[in-house]
Structure 1
Amino acid sequence: MAEFSHLQDFLHPVSKAMLNDDQEYDAFQVGSIIDVYEIDQQPDLEAADIILLGVGEERGGPSGKTNTNGPDAIRRELYRLFNWHKDIKLADVGNLLPGAFLADAYAAMKTVLSELISANKTVIILGGSHDLTYPQYKAYASQELIIEATVADALIDLKEDSRIKSERFLMDILTEQPNYLRHYNHIGFQSYFVHPRMLETLDKLRFDCFRLGRIRENMEEAEPVLRHSDLFSLDINIIKHTDAPANHLSPNGFSGEEACTLSRYAGMSSRLSSFGIYGYEPEKDVANLTARQISQMIWYFMDGRAVKGKEAGLEDRDAFWEFHIAFSDIETVFLKSKKTNRWWMQLPDQEFVPCAYNDYLMASNNEMPERWLRHQERL
């Protein structure tokens, strides 16, 4: 990994004193244990497990602003939370400098993310508008890494005729050549906001879309999806307005607790290396409640990362219960972790893929799990 001084050209330092009103943090608070890029201090990125990157860029969103203080508003709340995960090393590289044009911000974000991901670091992006998912994806594409991406969004941003980048960035990702997207998942869309033909298009591409109601009925359905993802992009419009007042899109959505559950699932993934939280506009917030919600989602991501460290590799079969099942004249194997209770199922090519308990129940009843079928279709 390059020295931090190489990345400094793209970043602006954070002031912990300003974030905490010149008060000292308690020794157990996140603000005390996190290694922060400040004017007189450089973080040790080599030692970090999770790295925070602020990108308050909104020129690709409806507001068209060059920057916001959103990332620092989230930091203010996050740094005050108590840290329960001493083994998880945190660092904060500050805020991305905006650059003269939006393309400059995209290029800078791609460069910084690419550097951190190539060093096997997990990056949490405290983002501006949702189009920043595009440079998040480009960080992988620039290294020719073929990835699985998951987006949590009440909308599906495929409006190719829109002038607002945050409304069409998915089209740019899906149609760009060469393409490094192996698979795409969409979590939490609200049907009344989505044109039916958009779903038809994504289904023809064998991409998986889960509407809000389906996931809320069984939150565990989202865990295997995130476990198999490299990139996770979340727009806070998935959280209902009462739990995230800065979301003005809809009164409906995931509860604050459910959004924390999604974040924890993401943290548990051994593959996921970038988690972008987008759409926070502090001027629309009420009593900093949305910033507090996002900070608690990050805390739960850390909690999930602590669980990830306890999971055994699939090759260690003594750490799993093994179930041999036959359904629809197909014989397969299900594994259940003795440590985390998570499930995997074996495909005909002998690969084990993440699944849920419900998939095992369906197979036990001689029914073909939809997740198994979708994997087979993609193969």
Structure 2
Amino acid sequence: MSDLLDFLLPVSLSRLNHDETYNDFQIGSQVLLHDTQFPDWEPASVVLVGTGEQRGAGTAADPGYPDEIRRQLYRLYHWHEGIVLADLGNIRQGATLQDTYAALKTVVHTLVTAGKTVLILGGSHDLTTAQYQAYVLGKKIVEATVVDALIDLQETPHPRSAAFLMDMLTGQPNYVRHYNHIGFQSYFVHPRMLETLDKLRFDCYRLGKARENLEEIEPVLRNSDMLSFDICAIRRAEAPAAGLSPNGFSGDEACMLARFAGMSLSLSSFGIYGYNPLRDPGGDTALQIAQMIWYFIDGKSVHNREAPLEEKTAFLEFYVTFTDVATTFIKSKKTGRWWMQLPGGQYIPCAYSDYLAACNNEIPERWLRAQERLS
């Protein structure tokens, strides 16, 4: 595993904290950090990797950009004794954009294969390509979820950050079992894009629909293997460095989405993209991202308490018939989360609203969409 060192630059803790010491309960005093030496990251359950690569968005790259997020993160207090965090530093910038992709892909693949959850503090959103390619390298079929005000399916290849989804969703061989897009803003998206994604039976959630009841998004994230979050999905007032729109998710809603992601038993990588400290002189966006990471870790602590579905005594069972279909809903006694059974016998994550719909003799839309994808 020491081969990872070839791809990573250390982080200077003294530069982050200006030579001031953290107290025993702050994250900065507990993280296993790549500073003067490469850490033993084996005990960690969450591993952080940074990259300042911005060339995919047509701007200059700086491998140290994620350090501004670390500066804010390390000041926060660590409440979760069961979660060990390692920080392996920043990806070395390659001679070309493809070189950086290759380095990030290798690092993420190695960590995910070792059973770690990887947090990527990224530059431009096209780095999602490398995050996904880490699974391709391991020939793992994934459910991928993106939170973004835009849908990066532009036909023109430049800038790369506006077109990377085309390769990810249509490239061969393809390892995307299902794709979810959360928080798109309709006035920024060509209607044909949504038609294309719908024909592929992918699920897209408009910003207003997602904000209407954020709890409905939790089952989507619970079933995801990888999550890519572009900070332009957050309204400009609460993430000034995003700079796209006065509308978007609020800061606390972004934290809630991050917590839902941490609660997922499936999710093994979470990339937060779009941060550039040159657009964040007050550090508000860095603090927003740091708090999202804190909530992601908080979600991991809930994840660790969840029982496996096979442990029948940990769940309440509800038998329901709707439109002549008999099925079973189960609810976790520990976390209150719901699952519903498909005709093939497998359980999929759902929400309480799906159970209520079934009780009213209505076909839950989540159930119907899952059946369509299996047919």
Q: TM-score range by the shorter chain?
A: over 0.9
How do 1:102-141 and structure 2 match up within 5 A?
Answer: 102-141=97-136
**Does 1:34 pair with 2:8?**
no
User: Counterpart in 2 of 1:23?
Assistant: 20
| Residue number among 65, 85, 88 corresponding to 1:70 in the alignment | 65
Q: Tell me which amino acid in the other structure corresponds to 2:263.
A: M
Count of matched residue positions in the alignment of Structure 1 and Structure 2: 374
User: Counterpart in 2 of 1:46?
Assistant: 42
1:172-192 Cα offsets, whole Å, 9 max, x none, are 101110000000000000000
**Does 1:294 pair with 2:310?**
no
User: How far did residue 70 of structure 1 move?
Assistant: 2.4
Cα contact 1:238–1:253 (8 A) shared by 2 = yes
**Any idea what SS the aligned residue of 1:334 has?**
strand
User: Counterpart in 2 of 1:256?
Assistant: 251
User: Counterpart in 1 of 2:340?
Assistant: 345
Cα contact 1:69–1:282 (8 A) shared by 2 = no
**Does 1:312 pair with 2:307?**
yes
User: How far did residue 93 of structure 1 move?
Assistant: 0.3
Structure 1: tracts of 5 or more residues without a match = none
- Alpha-carbon separation, structure 2, partners of 1:85 and 1:348: 39
**Any idea what SS the aligned residue of 2:66 has?**
helix
1:132-189 Cα offsets, whole Å, 9 max, x none, are 0001000000110000000000000000214111000000101110000000000000
Cα contact 1:34–1:90 (8 A) shared by 2 = yes
- Alpha-carbon separation, structure 1, partners of 2:269 and 2:262: 10
1:268-324 Cα offsets, whole Å, 9 max, x none, are 001100000000111111410000000000000000000001001111111111100
**Any idea what SS the aligned residue of 2:42 has?**
helix
User: Counterpart in 1 of 2:220?
Assistant: 225
Decide which moves more: 89-98 or 313-322: 313-322
Structure 2: tracts of 5 or more residues without a match = none
User: Counterpart in 1 of 2:188?
Assistant: 193
Cα contact 1:239–1:256 (8 A) shared by 2 = yes
**Any idea what SS the aligned residue of 1:252 has?**
coil
Cα contact 1:149–1:230 (8 A) shared by 2 = yes
- Alpha-carbon separation, structure 2, partners of 1:70 and 1:363: 49
User: Counterpart in 2 of 1:159?
Assistant: 154
- Alpha-carbon separation, structure 2, partners of 1:281 and 1:77: 14
| Aligned-pair identity (%) | 62
**Any idea what SS the aligned residue of 1:295 has?**
helix
Q: Tell me which amino acid in the other structure corresponds to 1:259.
A: A
Cα contact 2:321–2:327 (8 A) shared by 1 = yes
1:13-36 Cα offsets, whole Å, 9 max, x none, are 011111000010110000000000
**Does 1:95 pair with 2:90?**
yes
User: Counterpart in 2 of 1:146?
Assistant: 141
- Alpha-carbon separation, structure 1, partners of 2:348 and 2:312: 15
Q: Tell me which amino acid in the other structure corresponds to 2:57.
A: G
**Any idea what SS the aligned residue of 1:134 has?**
helix
User: How far did residue 69 of structure 1 move?
Assistant: 3.3
- Alpha-carbon separation, structure 2, partners of 1:330 and 1:311: 29
**Any idea what SS the aligned residue of 2:236 has?**
coil
**Does 1:354 pair with 2:353?**
no
- Alpha-carbon separation, structure 2, partners of 1:68 and 1:111: 17
Q: Tell me which amino acid in the other structure corresponds to 2:54.
A: E
1:245-275 Cα offsets, whole Å, 9 max, x none, are 1111100000000000000000000110000
Q: Tell me which amino acid in the other structure corresponds to 1:331.
A: A
Q: Tell me which amino acid in the other structure corresponds to 1:15.
A: S
TM-score (norm 1): 0.98
- Alpha-carbon separation, structure 2, partners of 1:312 and 1:157: 37
List structure 1 runs of 4+ shifted beyond 6 angstroms.
none
Root mean square deviation of aligned Cα: 0.8
User: Counterpart in 1 of 2:362?
Assistant: 367
